[in-house]
Amino acid sequence: MRSVAKPSIVDSVLAELRAEIHSGAWQVGDKIPTELQLAAALGVSRLSVREAVRVLVHSGLLATRQGDGTYVVATDESEVALTRRLESAEQLDIIDVRRGLDLVAARLAAAKRTEEDLAGLRAAGERRLAASRAGELDDFADADVDFHLRVAHAAHNQVLSDLYRGLSQSIRQSVREAHCLERAVRPGESSHEDLLAAIERGDQAAAVAAALAILDEQESDL
């Protein structure tokens, strides 16, 4: 049995900085204290602080802006890693993964949704429809992602919500690339309305069918 190594000063600083981020003391968009301020507060050298900050920049939690300072850009390293992986993924691979998530989300949402959930879904659906009619692609993509995130939230399963949130940027990109806006304005197109109606009725089978139909349509448009 080998002896257990003592944590280095840099590791200790890292733990303190992560704690500030994970606790919410430093939120996304916040500028963190300077190296000098952190070194004084923690009782360590500026070199140790610099190395710890470098590690967190590399992991995606912090970003350094030349001549300005260092800012919090994310709070979850695993989510950052997933986002980086998805950036290089094929759109068809993402749709395949979504089939599994959307199936569960739709079924659980139909069973567990609240009136508050339904109000949020209706609002997102209305924004999506308005953006499609106006031909505003960015607004349409934002509303589409928000709609699906709200379906996942209505499932009231935190793991599912976290996974879906990690996919949100990739979903937004796939919505843009799959010409979903063009499909949304076609006569008789009602896939998202069908999903919302099924969730409102509490019809789990219909909700699953509607959710999968949306992804089948998206795949066919790629």
CATH number, domain with residue 138 = 1.20.120.530
Q: What percent of the chain has pLDDT over 70?
A: 89
Whole-prediction pTM: 0.65
Identify the pLDDT of residue 155: 97
Identify the pLDDT of residue 196: 96
**62, 97: one domain:** no
Per-residue confidence band for 87, with pLDDT thresholds at 50, 70 and 90? low
Query: How many angstroms separate the CA atoms of 12 and 52, rounded?
Result: 9
**33, 125: one domain:** no
| Structure confidence by residue, pLDDT tens digits, 116-168 | 999 999 999 999 999 998 989 889 999 999 999 999 999 999 999 988 887 88
Is residue 139 in a domain?
A: yes
Query: How many angstroms separate the CA atoms of 151 and 155, rounded?
Result: 7
**34, 90: one domain:** no
Q: What percent of the chain has pLDDT over 90?
A: 58
Consecutive H or E run containing 92? helix 91-112
Identify the pLDDT of residue 4: 39
Number of domains in the chain: 2
Contact (CB, 8 A) for 17 and 53: yes
Partners of 218 in beta bridges: none
Domain extent for 193: 79-221
pLDDT at 66 over 60: yes
What letter would DSSP give residue 31? B
Average pLDDT score over residue span 161-178: 80
**122, 202: one domain:** yes
